[in-house]
Amino acid sequence: MAAIEIQGLSKRFGEVAAVDDLSFTAREGAVTGFLGPNGAGKSTTLRMLLGLVRPSQGSATIGGKPYAAMAEPFRRVGAVLEADAFHPGRRARDHLRVLATAAGLPLARVDAVLREVDLADVGHRRVKGFSLGMRQRLGLASALLGEPEVLILDEPANGLDPEGVHWLRQFVRAFADRGGTVLVSSHVLAEVAQTVDDVVIIANGGLVTQSSLAELANRSRSGVRVRTPQAEALRGALLAQGISAQLVASDALVALESAAEAVGLVAAGIGAVIFEMTPEHFNLEEMFLELTTSEGASR
């Protein structure tokens, strides 16, 4: 059974559809990257999954149950949704004590999670003196209090220095390797590419693609960059031949076709002048950009 299941989920804020009929799943024991540009609906989706925002339509369950319907959800699911969800005047350890008390968890857990996120030495300090990286860790500590099997992180790498990002990657990887399920959102594929097993890519509130990271990498194609004063006309001719192409400048386009000959023949067919033709290979990040801009926009 999928650990996390999103089914036909929609959220409208007035006229704006923040999330639009979104469906995907996240496997147990795997790290799933939840990717999309800013404003794609990632945070809204995660908040619906956690019962903080009411869906307009559809359902979101963890282990077959909506979050709010669980008796002690913090024992199954831990979540960090914002880097700064603390009273600035409260000491870090006290913040965790408050949450542990509300959850009825033993205070020993407080010290255990502080050690787990490397904050044991600064637990007595007030949060207002914490760097963004320390706040992210404290948020993670809060999520770990109930020893959950599922971890949901919204843009956890935001504001982290390279050392912090490295630490987070190892932490998430180790969590999944112990059998845990992780759903981690990001607007930068490169940030999570080293950590995730699967990817769910969304744009404009809807699913663009869901696959394993390896499968996505295999799909990456090569293409041909063409510089021509008739870029727009050439794009139309290419599309007519079933070759997708994108304008990248007023006098340049990229044809998603690895054979330069095919592109050259189409150009000759419409008498287009060609100044330059260069083979191109897309890396994962470019794939991501292409998926979230072109396909996402034309959904």
Least distance in angstroms from the C-beta of 88 to another protein: 7
CA angle 48, 71, 78 (to 5 degrees): 55
Binding residue for another protein (CB under 8 A) from 33, 73, 156, 164? 73
State the Cα–Cα distance between residues 169 and 234, nearest whole angstrom. Answer: 44
Q: Which is nearer to another protein, 90 or 173 (CB)?
A: 90
Please identify, among the stretches 43-51, 155-163, 201-209, 237-245, the one whose residues bind another protein according to the rule CB under 8 A: 43-51
Residue type, 114: L
Q: Which residue has the tokens 């999928």?
A: 2
Q: Which is nearer to another protein, 140 or 266 (CB)?
A: 140
Question: CB of 194 within 8 A of CB of 169?
Answer: yes
Is 75 a binder of another protein (CB under 8 A)? no
What's the start-to-end Cα distance of the chain, in Å?
A: 29
Does residue 10 belong to the site contacting another protein (CB under 8 A)?
Answer: no
Where does this chain touch another protein (CB under 8 A) — which range of 95-103, 175-183, 192-200, 213-221?
Answer: 95-103
271: phi then psi, degrees, rounded to nearest 5: 65, 30
CB neighbourhood size of 187 (10 A): 17
Distances (CA, A) of 224 to 12, 31, 220, 279: 40, 34, 14, 4
Please state the separation of Cα 101 from the chain's center in Å: 32
Out of 68, 214, 247, 289, point to the residue binding another protein (CB under 8 A). Answer: 68
For position 88 contacting another protein by CB under 8 A, the verdict is yes
Q: Which residues, numbered 123-182, are part of the site for another protein (CB under 8 A)? A: 142
Q: Which is nearer to another protein, 44 or 228 (CB)?
A: 44
Q: Where do contacts with another protein occur on this chain (CB under 8 A)?
A: 43-44, 47, 50-54, 67-68, 70, 73-74, 79, 81-82, 84-91, 94-95, 97-99, 101-104, 142
